[in-house]
Structure 1
Amino acid sequence: MMTGNRLLLAQRTDPVLFAVVHADRYGVDFLRTDRYQSFVPPLRARTTRAYEGSTDRWAHRFADVLAASPDGPLHDGRWVLSPDAQLRRWNHGRLPHAEYWHSMLIDGDPDGYIDWFIHNNSWEILPLRAIPDADDSRVKAYRKQARDGTLPPVLLLWVSGLDCHLILDGHARLAAAIAESTEPALLELRRTVPQDEAATATQQAVAAYEVEVARFTGLRAIHGPGIPDGARAAGPVLARRLDELRTEHRPTWAWPLPGGEQEWYRAVRRHTATGSWEHA
């Protein structure tokens, strides 16, 4: 929910994150309430062994949980759950995994700052609760799976209003991957093109493809087989456009906060130990 430059992220009616976007649009101050509860049931060791590190199999499992859970982030619209999170591409092999993924975590317990210029477009990761230490019992259990290559993926939600990823499930798993300096498997949840827009754009893309095929057919009739085949020339363009319509990012929705700015302030006071927050 949003009022002016102030945001409130809630799980049902329970606030889990307050945020204030800077007037200069350089970043966001945030306050975490540490009241977030993962909606994903505990991942059993037997299931983990059976999945053998298959991100595709975990994607199906998480998709089922997301669709069934009233505490998850899904609302009307089209969504993508993808293992191809763009933040995986920033390292280019320059840094050890432990150093890189630790650098992608946004500091702040319980409050901090999201710098929108630290990685150009900030594809960082904001935990919704504190990342456990490497010697935490859950992390220790996951570290063996990280070494074995069977560690379940970390479930992330891309939020455009914060310009970062939130950890929906897998705080301890990410800590284990960092402790073992292995690249964590990721599943990124994000909004994509609405169905009606995708249908219209698909028709337009197919129509443009057919025009190109007809144009190349005419050219081949005049100039002979030295002219490329129309389907071969126009096909890749169509394929790319259809893939974009299936997977491209769309802004995260936000709804007006009932009660407006005054309710945002009241919520901050209710959910902070001191009744105040310096950025409120």
Structure 2
Amino acid sequence: MRRNDVTRTDGTWVGLSVEVRDRRRAGLAVFTAGASRLLISQASRPVLLAVVDEPLQGVDFWRTDAYRSCVPPLRADVGRALAGDVERWAHRFVRYLVDAPDSPLHEGRWLLTRDCPLPRWRHTDVSHAEYWESMLVEGHPGGYIDWFVHSGSWEVLPLRPMPHADDSRVKAYRKQAREGTLPPVLLWWVSGLDCHLILDGHARLAAAIAESVEPPLLELHRTVPRDDLAARTDEAVTFYEGELARFARLRAAHGPAVPDGAALAGPQLVRLFDDLNTARLPTWAWPLPGGVSRWRRISHEATGCRCGLPAGESCSAPDCPRRDGV
């Protein structure tokens, strides 16, 4: 495992890149069945079943309550020692993710970044509590991720029910939230759901909402492999050199009034470099052995749906023909 700090060209710390080897399949993995069905499984335990609807406007899901965090309980003395330092927390969380056999990590290059887009979408006239409550996907055990209203990964899906504000764990974190020392909430961006899943920190997010403060976040996603990164860097440099050569030809033809192009091509090159280091790649998904029939068997076992509800009553199990009360 290779771990490196990722910084922007201006030196700003963005996150940690992790190159994982010799882990062919993740312990917390996404599987696909057919064109529209997804299964997230942790160490062979079904965690979440999902069906993308036909108009591609959202996803029906069902949580099984089988999810177990790959991060061990955070001790209070560790929280005080790190004192809300997101960079130091990132190094600790990476160690937890690498050591845990049931984390989402598998072979490839990953980024654990503080540069999560979610906080940037809050309007200044909306409180933190109101905003983050609106970002949480509702429904337990079943619900709906709305791509039509919340397009562009605008929602956060807890992998277990969110605790109440008076929960003992939430109360313990609320003081840290007020002091600005709250440990980060660990999110995993899953492209097949176009949504952020909470890997760890349900109580911490609930505490931030209860105190109406912005929660510190660390987002995990796949990023450009090292070999690809080198090739794409060469392409960016070649583009930059080509732009300078183009402006040089224009200057030779039209005189020194034509700029040399550095003021235009330089910032573009910087943006390309920054984007390459932080780019999101789609979440890797494995074909589910047994396909759709296996997915249906898992769904029946997890939801108990056969479907035996009375006529006219809506079922919340994904892929049930009675989901809308038909």
TM over 0.5: yes
Map of 1:31-180 to 2, 5 A cutoff?
A: 31-180=62-211
Task: Give the whole-Å Cα distance in 1 for the aligned partners of 2:274 and 2:137.
Answer: 31
2:285 match: secondary structure: coil
Which runs of no fewer than 5 residues in structure 2 stay unpaired?
1-30, 308-316, 321-326
The alpha-carbon deviation at position 49 of structure 1 amounts to 1.1
2:153–2:196 CA contact under 8 A, matched in 1: no
Q: Percent identity?
A: 62
Which amino acid in the other structure matches residue 2 of structure 1?
Answer: T
> Which range moved further: 154-163 or 210-219?
210-219
Which amino acid in the other structure matches residue 175 of structure 1?
Answer: A
Task: Give the whole-Å Cα distance in 1 for the aligned partners of 2:191 and 2:135.
Answer: 17
User: How many pairs were matched up?
Assistant: 280
Which amino acid in the other structure matches residue 204 of structure 2?
Answer: R
**1:3 correspondence with 2:43:** no
1:3–1:260 CA contact under 8 A, matched in 2: yes
Task: Give the whole-Å Cα distance in 1 for the aligned partners of 2:91 and 2:318.
Answer: 42
Task: Give the whole-Å Cα distance in 2 for the aligned partners of 1:81 and 1:217.
Answer: 41
Map of 1:213-228 to 2, 5 A cutoff?
A: 213-216=244-247, 227-228=258-259
Q: Which has the higher strand share?
A: 2
What residue number does 1:252 align with? 283
1:78 match: secondary structure: strand
Q: For 1:7-42, what per-residue CA distance to the aligned partner results, in whole angstroms no more than 9, with x for missing partners?
A: 100112111000011011111100000110001011
**1:266 correspondence with 2:290:** no
What residue number does 1:242 align with? 273
2:49–2:318 CA contact under 8 A, matched in 1: no
1:115–1:122 CA contact under 8 A, matched in 2: no
Q: Which has the higher helix share?
A: 1
**1:186 correspondence with 2:226:** no
Task: Give the whole-Å Cα distance in 1 for the aligned partners of 2:96 and 2:255.
Answer: 56
Task: Give the whole-Å Cα distance in 1 for the aligned partners of 2:49 and 2:166.
Answer: 30
The alpha-carbon deviation at position 230 of structure 1 amounts to 4.9
Task: Give the whole-Å Cα distance in 2 for the aligned partners of 1:278 and 1:169.
Answer: 25
User: Which TM-score applies when normalising by structure 1?
Assistant: 0.93
Which amino acid in the other structure matches residue 58 of structure 2?
Answer: G
> Which range moved further: 30-39 or 215-224?
215-224
